[in-house]
Amino acid sequence: MNDARSQRLRDFRSLCLHEAAHAVVGELLGWRVRSARVWRSRLEGEVNFASSCRRPWVDAIVSAAGHAAELASWTDAVPIPSHTDRREVRDALRGCGAVRPTDAEVKGMEQQLAILFLVEPIRAAVERVARTLAPLRRLSRAQIVEAIGVVPLIHRIRWRRLARRLVDQAVTETRIRAQLETLS
């Protein structure tokens, strides 16, 4: 019983981390977060955005952020699969010009994006939002922005550039794979 309970607690921590990453990355890339919510009983969560910037590459990064933060695993987080997020990443990559992105290509992008969550101000912001979200189960925009705190502009700019490069790389990989498929 104790093992099951501790596993459920780890899963809930992973969920909070996952949703916090969506919220932080959305804010950092210009989306306006409205709220974040988690349901412990169902191990589900959602982040609502009041607006988005209408750039497919940003949509891909925001959608991939949850899994990427879990993979960065600076806590005892255990990645929880989200087919909805992966479908949204594939759709956004298509909007960037990707050719039939596969699950393996999406997972590869998430793994590379995970490295960007090791940048201290970003990691700390995601951690703060997750810690604030866990006991409250629901955060307003004001609570999310307060928990994010100040992320220096230089880190925001570098993070944004590197994230954009990851999307460009993923799109290129799908195009190369598609061309190789036509040759065989």
pLDDT tens digits, residue range 92-139?
999 999 999 999 999 999 999 999 998 889 999 999 999 999 999 999
Residue 78: pLDDT band (50, 70, 90) is low
pTM for this entry: 0.92
**Beta strand 44-51 with 32-39: parallel, antiparallel or unpaired?**
antiparallel
Query: What is the average per-residue pLDDT within 139-164?
Result: 94
- 70-106 b/e (C-beta count within 10 Å ≥ 16 → b): bbbeebebebbebeebbebbbebbbebebeebeeebb
Q: In what order do the strands lie in the sheet with 32-39?
A: 44-51, 32-39, 138-140
CA atoms within 13 A on the CB side of 2: 0
Domains of the chain: 2-183 (1.20.58)
Res 126: pLDDT: 95
pLDDT tens-digit readout, 10-55: 889 989 999 999 999 999 999 999 999 999 988 899 999 997 767 9
**Residue 76 has which token pair?**
């005892």
Res 49: pLDDT: 94
Chain centroid offset of residue 16 CA: 12
Res 149: pLDDT: 93
Q: Is the pLDDT of residue 75 over 60?
A: no
Res 1: pLDDT: 54
Q: Which residues contact 178 (CB under 8 A, 6 or more apart)?
A: 99, 100
Res 77: pLDDT: 56
Residue 5: pLDDT band (50, 70, 90) is confident
